[in-house]
Amino acid sequence: MLNSFLFAWFVPTDQAMTAKKKISRDLSTEEKIKKAALKLFTKKGYAATRTRDISAEAGINLALLNYYFRSKEKLFELVMTEILQNFFTGIKQIFNDEETSVEEKVKIFVARYTALLKKQPELPLFIFQEIRLNPDRLAARMGVRQVFSSFFFIQLERVMVEKEIHDIHPIHYIMNMIGMCVFPFIGAPLFRHALGLSDKRYKELMDERVELIPIWMQATMKKGQRRR
């Protein structure tokens, strides 16, 4: 009797095994869809990507895609939000590292942010759309406020006091750093067209900026600098 009870408790029934397999299939299908969507959003852009394209890339029928994700917009939002959350988690770790200097943090930030934007060129447009439509939701999801209470922000304030930079708010430094990383990707189609640059050459310019931006940022922290 006891053996039968223990067997029933510890050995999965056919019903339990079937349910477990279904959950595994569900997770596998969802991940396939997200992976396919990310690939196509990155390659073709949001507007040019159809749900039919995503289902074909994932190897499933369109009805199943619609079952998991009700619309292309919802899928795009989920995929990009996951990328942002992972990115901001890494950024918060960088900014709260008490062993690295301001200059070292800037170099790491610029390198990682540029690498991310090269892989996900649609990301800046998604961020700006979210900022415009749902700024509170974006801030809450990404933990943006934590950046301004990070050790990096404290370091900036200390450096500015040491260098007698009294009338410039540290937020300008962070705005400049992010802007120099992001804007070239937002304006990429215009710059490539106006200057006749190939995608390969433009990516090379972005790689050059990984070295240049920290130099430019350091130049903004000259001793005794003031607003004119």
Return the closest-CA partner of residue 173 out of 122, 119, 102, 84. Answer: 102
Residue where the block lists tokens 């019903």:
15
**pLDDT top residue among 196 and 91:** 196
Q: What is the pLDDT of residues 60-104, one digit of tens each?
A: 999 999 999 988 888 988 887 787 777 777 888 899 999 999 999
Please report the DSSP string for 149-199 in residue order: GSHHHHHHHHHHHHTT--SS-HHHHHHHHHHHHHHHHHTHHHHHHHHT--H
**pLDDT top residue among 58 and 221:** 58
As a whole number, mean pLDDT of residues 109-135 equals 82
Q: How far apart are CA 40 and CA 26, in angstroms?
A: 21
Calculated CA dihedral for residues 199, 185, 43, 202, nearest 10 degrees: 10
10 pLDDT tier (thresholds 50, 70, 90): very low
What are the residues whose beta carbons fall under 8 Å from the beta carbon of 126, sequence distance 6 or more? 46, 76, 77, 80
Domains and CATH numbers, the chain: 13-70 (1.10.10.60), 76-228 (1.10.357)
Return the closest-CA partner of residue 88 out of 38, 146, 133, 31. Answer: 146
The token pair that represents 149 in the structure block: 């209470």
- pLDDT given at position 23: 41
What is the value of pTM for the model shown?
Answer: 0.72
The token pair that represents 98 in the structure block: 């008490």
- pLDDT given at position 14: 52
Q: How far apart are CA 172 and CA 174, in angstroms?
A: 5
- pLDDT given at position 7: 46
**pLDDT top residue among 224 and 110:** 110
- pLDDT given at position 99: 94
**pLDDT top residue among 44 and 223:** 44
Q: Is 71 left (phi over 0), alpha (psi -120 to 50) or beta?
A: beta
- pLDDT given at position 86: 76
pLDDT greater than 60 at residue 40: yes
Indicate the average pLDDT of the chain.
82
- pLDDT given at position 89: 79
- Angle (CA) 79 82 88, round 5°: 140
Return the closest-CA partner of residue 212 out of 118, 108, 100, 107. Answer: 107
- How far CA 224 is from CA of 172, 173, 174, in Å, comes to 16, 15, 19
Q: What is the pLDDT of residues 144-181, one digit of tens each?
A: 677 778 899 999 999 988 888 877 888 899 889 989 99
pLDDT greater than 90 at residue 41: no
